[in-house]
Chain A
Amino acid sequence: MNPAQNLWSELRKSWHLYLFLLPTFAFILIFRYYPAGSAVFHAFTRWNGAGIATWVGLENFRTLLTDFIFVASLKNIGIILAAALIKVLIFPMLAAEFIFNLRSERGQYWYRFLLILPIVVPGIVVTLVWRFIMGPKPLGVLNALLELLGLTEWQHAWLADPKIALIAVLLVGFPWIDAIAMLIYYAGLQNISGDVLDASKIDGASIWERVMRVDLPLLFGQFKLLIIITTIFTLQNFGGMLVLTNGGPGYATMVPGLWMYQRAFQADRFGYASAIGVVLLVVMLALTWINNKLLKETDVTY
C-alpha cells in the first residue's frame, strides 16, 4: 500500500473518532477561535456599535500610547498585580502551614473547612459586602470600627477619595486567605515525604527552621503555579473593580480591562477596545513566558 492509501484506510477506520471530537471543536471554533481572531483583526479597525469596521492600521495602538487614562490604568494594574502576588504567596501559605502543623486531624479538618467556606459565597456578594465595609460614615463597617476605637482621624471615604481609593481596593479581602491557594499549598505540604520531615526532626530542627529549609523550597512548584494563575486572573478580571469603584473616583482605580469595557459599551469604540484586548494578550503572554523562564531551572526535589 502506498502512503496515501494507507492514510485513507486509517481515516476510514477512525472516522467515528472524529465524530466524537466534533462537539468540542465546534464549540471552540465558534466561541473561542472566531472571536479571538476577530479581536486581533478588529484591533486594526475603527469599529462602531453597528458593526461597521474600517481598516485604520496601527492608529488604535498609537492612540493608546497617548491615552493618559490607559497609561494610568497600566500603572494601577501593575500595583494591583504586585500586591496580588505578595498576598497569594504569603497569606494562604501561612494558613496552610498553621493548619498542617496542628497535631489533631480533626482540628486540621475543621480549620480547613472554615477557611474554605467563603468559596460558596458568590464573588459579587463578597465584592458588595466589601463595598459596604469600605462605605461612607456612619454605616460603613471600617469607619464604624474606627469610631468605636476612637480613631476618628483615620476615618475616610475609602472608595470615594482619589488619594486612597487604590489602597482601599488593595485592602479588600483582608486577610487574603484565598481558599484555592490554601488548598494547593496544603496539598503540597502533604506531599512532602514523611522521611524528610522525620529527618529534620531528628536533626533537631525547630518548626521555624523546617518551614524555612524544607517546606518553602519544596513548595516551589505550588508557588510557581499560583504566580501564573494569579497573574492571568488579575490582569483580566475587572468585574470586581466595576462593582467596587467603576474605576473611579476619576480614574484613580481604572484598570485596562475596565477601560476596554467602557470604551466599547459607553463610547461605542469597539475597535479601540479590541486593541486594548490585544495589548492585554501580549502582556499576558510575555509575563507567562518570563515566569516560565525565571522559575524553570530551579525545580527542587529531595
Chain B
Amino acid sequence: MVLVLLVILTLYPFVFMAITSTKSYAQFLHSYWIPAWPPHIVENYVAAWNQTRGYLLNTIYVGVLTVVGFLFTTTLAAFVFARFRFPGKEILFGSLMILMMIPQILQLIPAFMWVRKLQLLNTYWVLILPYIAGGQAYAVFILRTFFSSLPQGLFDAARIDGARDFQTYYMVALPLSKGILATLAILRVQQVWNDLIWPLITLADDSKRTITVGLYYFQGETQTQYGAMFAGYLIASVPLFLLFLVGMKQFMAGVTSGAIKA
C-alpha cells in the first residue's frame, strides 16, 4: 500500500534519530541499523538535557511573550477594522495589508543595524519585538474576516445588556474565536521555534540563545557523541509535540476553514 510506504519514508529519519539516541558511540558503529543492547538512554539524555535545557527555556520564554503580544495587538486591530467605521480606515488598513507584499528578507540587514542602534542586541527583546511585528498583516487580515462574519445580533444583545464597545471585544469576539486564535498562536510559535538567521546574528551571548541556534552550534562541540546529539534533537521536538497534541484538533480545523490563506 502506497500510503504505508509514504508514512515509513516520511517518518524514517526521525525513527533513525530516536533509535540512535539510545546508543553509545561504539554501539552506533557496530549495530548501525538496529537498536543495541544495553541502551544508553539515561546517559545520553542527561548529557543532552544539560546542554539544551537553557536554550529550551529561552525559546519558551520568547515564544510565550511573542504569542501574547502578537494576539493582543492583532485582535485589537482586527476588531476595530471589522466592526467600526472611522475616518482613514481604508488607508490605514491598506497600509497594513501592503506589508504582505514586502518579504522579510529585504529588511534583514537594515533591521540588524537598527536593533544594534537601539541597543537591543543580546536581549530577549531583540527577538520578541520583531517577532510580534512580523506576522501582523496576515493575522489582522484573517481575524478581521472572522470578526466581520460574526452576526451583528450577538453584539447588539451584549450592548442591550449594558456592554460598552470594548466589552464586546472580550465578552463576545474573543471567546468565539478560540479556534482561530489557537491556529494563529501555533503558527507563530512554530515560526519562532524554527527561526535560525535572526537569533544567529542578534544573540552572541550563548546564555540567551534559542533552541535553533543552540542546536546549530551544539553539533560542532560533540564530535563523536552521536547518541547525545540525537537525544538533543529529540528533546527539542518535545515541546512542540505537546503543544500539537493539545491544539491539533483546533489546528486542523483552522487550516481546513481557511486560516492558512495568502
Bound together: yes
Cβ contact within 8 Å between A183 and B256: yes
Given A31-B133, A39-B109, does the pair A119, B244 have CB atoms closer than 8 Å? Answer: yes
CA distance A115 to B10 in the complex (A): 7
CA distance A119 to B260 in the complex (A): 15
Instruction: Tell me which of B3, B14, B233, B241 contacts A111 (CB under 8 A).
Output: B3
Instruction: Tell me which of A35, A98, A117, A124 contacts B11 (CB under 8 A).
Output: A117
CA distance A180 to B254 in the complex (A): 11
Cβ contact within 8 Å between B240 and A98: no
Cβ contact within 8 Å between B86 and A281: no
Residue of A nearest to B102 (CB): A36
Chain A residues, CB < 8 A from B14: 118, 121, 129
Cβ contact within 8 Å between B103 and A35: no
Closest Cβ of chain B to A106, distance in Å, is: 14
Chain B residues, CB < 8 A from A112: 252
Given A17-B84, A27-B136, does the pair A124, B10 have CB atoms closer than 8 Å? Answer: no
Digitize A119-138: 1 where CB-to-B-CB distance is under 8 Å, 0 elsewhere: 11111111011100100000
Number of interface residues of A (CB under 8 A): 89
A25 on the B face (CB < 8 A): yes
A247 on the B face (CB < 8 A): no
CA distance A31 to B117 in the complex (A): 13
B181 on the A face (CB < 8 A): no
A61 on the B face (CB < 8 A): no
CA distance A281 to B105 in the complex (A): 8
Cβ contact within 8 Å between B13 and A32: no
CA distance A232 to B104 in the complex (A): 10
Cβ contact within 8 Å between A120 and B240: yes
Number of interface residues of B (CB under 8 A): 82
B211 on the A face (CB < 8 A): yes
CA distance A115 to B248 in the complex (A): 13
Cβ contact within 8 Å between B6 and A175: yes
Cβ contact within 8 Å between B7 and A27: no
CA distance A118 to B241 in the complex (A): 9
A199 on the B face (CB < 8 A): no
B73 on the A face (CB < 8 A): yes
7 tightest A-B CB contacts, nearest first: A31-B133, A38-B110, A35-B107, A236-B105, A14-B86, A123-B194, A239-B196
**A residues touching B (Cβ–Cβ < 8 Å)?**
7, 10-11, 14, 16-18, 20-21, 23-25, 27-28, 30-36, 38-40, 42, 47, 51, 95, 98-99, 102, 111-126, 128-130, 133, 139, 141, 144, 148, 174-175, 177, 180, 183-184, 186-187, 190, 225, 228-229, 232, 235-236, 238-239, 242-243, 257, 260-261, 264-265, 270, 273-274, 277-278, 280-281, 284-285, 288
18 of the cross-chain contacts (CB-CB < 8 Å) are: A20-B76, A28-B136, A35-B107, A35-B114, A120-B241, A123-B212, A133-B13, A180-B255, A183-B255, A183-B260, A187-B255, A190-B256, A225-B262, A243-B196, A261-B108, A264-B109, A270-B109, A277-B108
**B residues touching A (Cβ–Cβ < 8 Å)?**
2-3, 6-7, 9-11, 13-14, 16-17, 28, 32-33, 72-74, 76-77, 79-80, 84, 86-87, 92, 96, 99, 101-114, 116-117, 129-130, 132-134, 136-137, 140, 165-166, 190, 193-197, 201, 211-212, 215-216, 219, 226, 233, 236-237, 240-241, 243-244, 248, 252, 255-258, 260-262
New contact pairs (11) apart from A36-B107, A175-B9, CB-CB < 8 Å: A11-B86, A17-B80, A24-B140, A27-B136, A51-B117, A114-B11, A121-B14, A122-B212, A122-B237, A238-B197, A284-B103
